Amino acid sequence: MKRSFYYIVAVLLLAPSVMLAQQQDSTQSDVQDDLEEALEVFDPENSGEDAEQLTQLLQELAANPVNLNTARINALLQVPGLNFKTARAIIDYRSSVKPFETVNELQEVSGIGRVTLEKVRPYVTPGRGLELSKTLFTDYRYWTADGRFQAFSRYQQDIQEAEGYKKHPDEGGYVGTRIKYYQRFGYQSDHISLNLTQEKDPGEQLESPVKFDHRSWHIALEDNGNLQMLVGGDYSLAFGQGLVLWSGAAFGKGSDVIGAVNRNGRGIKPYTSAQETNFYRGGAVTYGGKLQLTGFYSNRRRSASVISEDTTRYPGTDGYKRTANEFRKEDNLGQKLFGGHIQMELPFGIIGATGYQTTFDHVIAASERIYAQYDFEGRSNSAFGVDYTFLLGSALVFGEAARSENGGLGYITGIESEIGKDTEMTLAYRHYQKDFQSILGNGFGEISGQPKNEQGIYLGLQHAIGENITLFAYMDQFRFPGARFGTNQPTQGYEWLGKANVEMSSDLNFYLQFRSEIEDDEFEITDRYGRKQRKLGSSRRSTYRAHLEYRVNPKVRLRSRGELVQSKKAGESLERGYLIYQDIRLQLRENLQLDARISMFDTESFSSRVYQFENDLLYVFASQALFDRGQRMYALLNYEPFEYLELWAKFGVTVYENKQVVGSGLNQIEGDTRSEIGIQARISF
């Protein structure tokens, strides 16, 4: 460990002598910022799956930006920051005024201001001028335009040995090694996509080099005239506002307040992620122009806890096969899905409808707990919904209404609008009944994942003052009409955020952010007769952050942050936690970049934990929940020795001051230190 730090110091010392070129990787850092905004409070333990997919989605979008001059409306709608109104305005501009020559020209388009432009910038391109537009299907160049083959190999490992590896598998220990290994081979051009992803998690076995624990593959034809998408293999589905079908990543409440609620369904997406459960396997097709028809069929094995011979719980999301226990339930449940989506683009908007039927080969039984009393049970389920996006003057109205087989209803609608030149607003209302059983949906809400048992109203505002100051705020009020996870009665709460971003110069950026969430929660007390009673109280978690980013010169970027967390759980007293960090990015050479950070954290317990989003190997999601007292440091190197080879290496270490064991259960480590390494190579040509 010590040796690594001397290396880092040595690299720092060598820095000035190797600083030559003027390149800066600003796209990457914009994407990182977007990810941080979207994911900063994601707990890696709970939401790592979705977060990894969102990481990959944004980074792939940045690597293959949408062409402003050729993209159809559906492609433009996938760009974070654009909605139906602005996407339509872009198409109008390029056809009636002139084609885009630079991304900056977007500011000429009505409805796109400075803030939207900066949001959109990493994900769009004006293209290279003349495109091979008239090439025929029979010409191989049609299929290979913008073609790129990529192969990834990634290796990650915790350095300290956890409890699970010391125990024999017969006694409940892990069967495999600590190594996490991932590899991926893919070919993607404008019209064709082939991919194979394989992964082995820590603790899982790698029986032979071809038998990985997780394999995902697809063959897809994309954007071939009216055949918009044809996939065989693994894919994800996301339609409308997600009330019926949404697998994969979704933005939630974050400091990006305007795009937060309105989801533009991505439709069918070929699947490339290593996340093991959040996809469908079979075939899917989308055909049409202004009128689009989508059909899909999936049949795959899932893993679920066994209740009896013919009954299981609803399948879990982690996909781990590390212990004998986890092995027993491997692929023990079959799930079939078929359904479709129809979408019509009209002069004033888009209307769509989604429906599916899914069947399991076992009976699904829900938990006996009160909070699960309305959960799905049985062998089959279906859901149907209608979604819409309309232009209403200068405003955009969006929404979706859906019904599950048992009659439960879910509804969301909202409006995005400019108020004057410098202000934008989002207002949205959602109502998901407690018996709404949309098991494959993922709607906007306080609780991520399946939309159910929630009513809420969200108001987001964004206001630009002059060229340099932007204010963001949202307020979200919510009610859970039935018991939610961990409670036995209806509860409610609210959340708000305020952020002031000051661009003091093109190199110096500063923001202050406040965020607070107050909600009802139950707690247990023991009365004077020794009886336990559950009471309803209020819990609060607030964060206060100051963040400064300064680009000293084209080679050096500094970031400093201080964050304070106040947490008060129901029935308990107020706790505090805080984090400070200093971060540095050095562009040592045009093809060599170093990111390093030192953080100090000090929290009274887990509930006042602090989160920090870290740079990591490409497509790796890295948010750290830090708690107790200690220090974390990491260094990440990115090196591109040749045009077709790119390498990453990361070393991170967290040292705690007040504990002698880190983690718990099978993941417990003896000692006060947890450190990890990761290396990754990408070959592309």
Partner 1 sequence: MIQKLKIFNSKNILIAFICFLFIQSYGKQLKAQAVIGARELAMGQASTALQETSWSMFANPAMMSAEKPTASFFGVRYFGFSEITDMAVSVTYPTQLGVIGAAAHRYGFDLFNENRLRLGYKNEFMGFHYGVILNYSHVAQDIDNGSAGAIGVDVGVATPIASNLWIGAKATNVNHPSYGSRNNEKLPRDLSIGLSYYLSEVALFSADVYKDVQFPISYRGGIEVAIIGGLTGRAGITTSPQTFSAGIGYKGSFWSTNIAVQRHENQVLGYSPALDFKITW
Instruction: Give the binding site for partner 1 (CB under 8 A).
Output: 1-2, 5-6, 8-9, 12-13, 15-16, 19, 508, 548, 550, 552-556, 558, 560, 562, 578, 580-582, 584, 598-600, 602, 629-631, 633, 655, 657
Instruction: Answer yes or no: are the C-beta atoms of 592 and 555 closer than 8 Å.
Output: no
Cα–Cα separations (whole angstroms), residue 483 to 106, 285, 314, 452, 571: 47, 39, 19, 11, 19
CB 1, min distance to partner 1, A: 7
**Coil, helix or strand at residue 157:** strand
Residue in 435, 444, 560 with CA at minimum distance from that of residue 495: 444
CA atoms within 13 A of residue 568's CA, in its CB half-sphere: 13
Nearer to partner 1 by Cβ, of 9 and 512: the residue is: 9
Tell me the three state secondary structure of residue 190.
coil
Residue with tokens 């064709």: 192
Least Å distance, CB 22 to partner 1, is 11
Of 500 and 598, which has the nearer Cβ to partner 1?
A: 598
Min dist. Cβ of residue 604 to partner 1 (A) = 11
For the CA atoms of the chain, what is the radius of gyration?
Answer: 25
* CB nearer to partner 1: pick between 450 and 587: 587
Give the DSSP H/E element, type plus range, for residue 11.
Answer: helix 2-18
Give the shortest CB-228-to-partner 1 separation in angstroms: 49
653 close to 632: Cβ distance less than 8 angstroms: yes
Give the separation between CA 38 and CA 61, rounded to whole angstroms. Answer: 15
**CB closer to partner 1 out of 361 and 672:** 672
374/627 with CB nearer partner 1: 627
For the CB of residue 88, give the shortest distance to partner 1 in the complex, in Å: 42
CB nearer to partner 1: give 397 or 600. Answer: 600
Q: Which is nearer to partner 1, 187 or 578 (CB)?
A: 578
- Closest distance to partner 1 from the beta carbon of 556 (Å): 4
In this structure, the strands spanning 673-684 and 148-158 are: antiparallel
Q: Which two tokens stand for residue 411?
A: 């509804």
Question: Which C-beta is closer to partner 1: that of 253 or that of 609?
Answer: 609
Decide if 234 contacts 256 (C-beta within 8 A). no
Nearer to partner 1 among residue 13 and residue 136 (C-beta): 13
Question: For residue 512, what is the enclosing H or E element?
Answer: strand 508-526
**How far is Cα 253 from Cα 260, in angstroms, rounded to an integer?**
6
As measured in angstroms, the least distance from the Cβ of 679 to partner 1 is 22
| CB of 201 vs partner 1, minimal distance in Å | 29
- Residue 465 Cβ, how far from partner 1 at the closest point, in Å? 21
Contact 580, 562 (CB under 8 A): yes
Token representation of residue 60: 């792939």
Q: Residue 462: beta bridge partners?
A: 424, 472
Residue 236's H or E segment, with its range, is: strand 227-238
- The least CB distance from residue 598 to partner 1, in Å, is 5
- Shorter beta-carbon distance to partner 1: residue 338 or 550: 550
Burial 372-382 (b: 16+ CB within 10 A, else e): bebbbeeeebb
